[in-house]
Amino acid sequence: MPSTAPGWPSPGGEQRGHCPAQGTPDPAELSFGAPCPVRRLLLLLGLAGLLAGTAAGTWLLVKRVKEPPAGQGSPQEQGLDVIPACEEGEEEEPVVRGAPSTGPCTGGGSSQCNGTPSVSFRISTANSLLEARLEAHPGWLLVCHGHWGPSLGTLLCQQLGYLSMTRQQGVKLRDVRVSAGQRFLQATPRQGGSLQDMWQVRSSCQSGRIVALQCSECGLQAGAVRVVGGTDAAPGRWPWQVSVCQGSRHRCGGSVLAPEWILTAAHCVHSFRQPPAPAWLVFAGIVTHGSLQPEAGVPVREIIPHPLYSDSSLDYDIALMRLQVPLNFSGAIRAACLPPSPQDLLQGTQCWVSGWGYTSPEQAQVAGTLKEALVPLIGTRRCNSSCVYKGELTARMLCAGHLQGRVDACQGDSGGPLVCWDGSMWRLVGIVSWGQGCAEPNHPGVYTNVAQLLPWIHRVTQIH
């Protein structure tokens, strides 16, 4: 992760006055300076006493002004982990807010889209049937296949957080066990307006068929980061984590979105001095980053950074890599899901960052074993406040970590995943982007906000 810490002034820059040397000094005088005349020495002693008295009085006055109110206790009594609060940073607004969508609302609840009752969708894990919930209608509705178009399946999969649709078909109602009183949602031919307006509740399906939908696999671990203060990750725990290398040299992390698509940070690859795409290799399904053999890596066919990426502000810090050969999914290699659109995540949501980056700021080498760390989301207003990042975050960024420091991503973790569990699958919420130092107090990690860039991800992967 690129550090933006300012340079410290070099030590020893202050010049100190001295008396002219009187003859050849002895060894003691080489260390402490040549003797001055007695009268000048007395004058200097008097001035030193006056300055000392002034300094002592000033210190007592400042101490009196800064003394905490009665009952508050001293900083030592409050604990070393206390971080000054930022008054302008308190908030209850979501850290992650889904990008505006022209499609049907997903996520349920009592929210509304465009002033109409919201429709939320899910796919049954038992039989892949598409189910819907409409506000003010109890229970889940099956979706009739009548007036169903191929583009609807793709759109719904993307809005549910999948990269693409893999299969859709009409299933005969007589082949499905339907409970008495089952109601259905019917798509109607759209005459302008939004997709949200195209749904009607029906007591039956005239076509006699309902929609079954399958989306690209993602978000599941085999079982059940650059990371400072993290612990070793078990094999298969983060199967979407990849190492993006030049040859066998680790440069950045990345996340598997599909067998041929990797998501990483634009600052990892956006430079005219960087090698062409075939010189980059992606290593997937590994935990130990010891002796990597180039033949085990998958060559990159194409690198696509976001066209609005700014190398100075790190805004739009996102890039897609298309592999020459698709990955073979297994227990060790799987894809992460994208955030559903729209999705709200509040500050304090616990997420995980992983990577092979530096395990301490002063240790300038990558970790041998994949690390992981639990980091909570931090409100953007707080992260942009005067005592943290002073307004440097854009809408395409989010913060996660601890204001006390100690746990954070670091150099070498850039491009890697920040994932959050939503109760059923792991969502790729952020991409390790930047920060000031590593694990410093009041300088948490800054991540690319994936939810804000979903339209670009879908557009690129579909075009290619």
Tokens linked to 118: 């919201």
Give the up-direction half-sphere exposure of residue 27: CA atoms within 13 A in the CB hemisphere: 0
Strand partners, 252: 244
The continuous run of DSSP H or E covering 343 comes out as none
CA 143 to chain centre: 35
Tokens linked to 238: 């983060």
Gap between the Cα atoms of 352 and 417, Å rounded: 8
Gap between the Cα atoms of 370 and 233, Å rounded: 6
Gap between the Cα atoms of 210 and 145, Å rounded: 5
The continuous run of DSSP H or E covering 156 comes out as helix 150-159
- Token pair 């009739």 is found at 144
Q: Which is nearest to 317 in space by CA: 441, 433, 215?
A: 433
Gap between the Cα atoms of 381 and 202, Å rounded: 45
The one-letter code for the residue type at 347 is: Q
Q: Which is nearest to 175 in space by CA: 150, 140, 212, 201?
A: 212
Gap between the Cα atoms of 261 and 319, Å rounded: 10
DSSP-assigned letter for residue 454? H
| Residues noted as catalytic | 267, 317, 414
Residue 167: which residues within 8 A CB-CB, separation 6 or more? Answer: 212, 213, 214
User: Do the strands 408-409 and 397-400 form a parallel or antiparallel pair, or are they unpaired?
Assistant: unpaired
Say how many residues make up the chain: 464
Residue 79: which residues within 8 A CB-CB, separation 6 or more? Answer: none
Contact indicator for 258, 304 with CB cutoff of 8 Å: no
User: Do the strands 417-421 and 280-284 form a parallel or antiparallel pair, or are they unpaired?
Assistant: unpaired
First-to-last CA distance in the chain?
Answer: 29
